[in-house]
Each structure stands twice: as C-alpha cells, then as structure tokens.
Amino acid sequence: MKILKVDTLKIPDIKIIHFAKYADRRGYFTEPYRKTICINHPDLKDCMKGVEFVQINESFSKAGVIRGLHFQWNPYMSKLVRTIHGHMIDLFLDIRLGSPTFGKIMGYDMPTSSQTDYGEWIWIPKGFAHGNLFLKDTTIEYLCTGEYSPTCEAGISPKSPDLDWSLCDTKLKLLFDTLANETELISDKDLNGLSLNIWKADERANRFIYNYIEGVKE
C-alpha cells in the first residue's frame, strides 16, 4: 500500500485516504490496505491506533438508493469505506454528545474510474451515524472494527428535518435533496428512523459522549 495523501474534512475526525493504483496497458494493480502502513502514517496513527478490522461488508445498490444513517454500540463500529465500482456519496453525522460538530452532517463524493491513478477510503470513526446515496449502480466495500450487533443498533432518518447540513458542500446537499424527494429506493426502516432530537433525548445516546467514546475500545 502506498498512501499518496490524507485529507481532513470540515468535521476533522473524518479522514480521506488516497492510495496509489499502478496502471499499465493491461489494467491496474492496487493494494488498498496494509495495517502497518496505516497505523504508522503521521496523519492516521492517532485515529487508527489499536484499530483491528474484524468484519468486511460488501454492498450493491441501484442508482437512486439512499441508505442510513446507521450506528451501533456494544461493540462500537468504526469503518473504512470505499467505492469499488459506480458512484457513491458517503454521508456521516456526528452523534457525540458535547462534540463541537454534534448534529452536523456532511457528504463526500466518491465516484470511481479505471482511469485514475488513485483510490480512496473514507474513515468513519465510532460516534458517527453513517449512510450513503448512489447516483449509479454501485458496489462498495467497508472494513469494520466491530461485528454486527442487531440488538445494539439504531438509526437516524437521513430525511430528519433537524439535521444540520451547514458544513456540507452545497452541490452535494442539492443532489441529496433532489434524490430524497424523488426516490422510492429507501427502506421503511431508514425512512422512519429517529430524528436527531428524539435520539438526543434517548438514554442510549449517553453511550456516545465526546472525549469519552474515543478512549473506549471498539
């Protein structure tokens, strides 16, 4: 794995990892992940210290699908997410009580192309609700630090009116609004998820405390 650069977004706990692809006339080769390189990289060693991936998920979504916003505890789950084929916009919402960006949601545009000389991961740490929307038929992969825990999960509706989109790129927000108003490709579970304010008043929200959750094992 060769990391070309690591970008920090306006919500600074979210990282974008650009890794090299090596192309020739036959196609390309890439090593998307190597543990020792990630945990020793100066821009990643703090956030990925002690990280162990225990589950790998692959998801295919048709154009127009919206998923999320999902999170879990016991165990917590951080994720590395990438687009294998297609066009995903990744969504992430800060649910850490006391965080300076609590309640703020952003999107990050993650299309793929065989012509680029790099690939991308997005790092979504514990304490964030996660979702996606898809502009094309798309396959994604995500590496998880916790095994799925169906009795310790919850979701906030991506259409909840009390989400703060002020940090999100306006073009991505417009794409979300357009798709959210038109698509029927969202599950009832996700569409009818909690509002942010209802979740904040839920006693389970106290499992996600800023400056506390970061020190808790996955």
User: Of 76, 108, 130, 142, which one is the catalytic site residue?
Assistant: 142
Give domain status of residue 127, yes or no.
yes
| Prediction pTM value | 0.94
- Give me the number of domains the chain comprises: 1
Query: Where in the chain does DSSP place strands (E)?
Result: 3-8, 15-24, 27-30, 55-61, 66-72, 79-85, 87-94, 105-111, 118-124, 128-134, 138-144, 153-155
Q: Is 28 a catalytic residue?
A: no
The CB-based long-range contact list for 97-104 (8 Å cut-off, 24+ gap) reads 97/200, 97/205, 97/206, 97/208, 97/209, 97/210, 98/209, 98/210, 98/211, 99/127, 99/210, 101/11, 101/167, 102/210, 103/162, 103/163, 103/164, 103/196, 104/11, 104/163, 104/164, 104/165, 104/166, 104/167
Q: Is 142 a catalytic residue?
A: yes
Domain residues for the domain of 160 are: 3-211
pLDDT tens across the length of the chain (218 residues): 999 999 999 999 999 999 999 988 899 999 999 999 999 999 998 898 889 999 999 999 999 999 999 999 999 999 999 999 999 999 999 999 999 999 999 999 999 988 889 999 999 999 999 999 999 999 999 999 999 999 999 999 999 999 999 999 999 999 999 999 999 999 999 999 999 999 999 999 999 999 888 777 66
User: Of 70, 76, 108, 130, which one is the catalytic site residue?
Assistant: 70
Q: Are 66 and 174 in contact (CB under 8 A)?
A: no
Give domain status of residue 194, yes or no.
yes
Give domain status of residue 44, yes or no.
yes
Give domain status of residue 110, yes or no.
yes
Rounded CA-CA distance 149/133 in Å is 23
Give domain status of residue 217, yes or no.
no
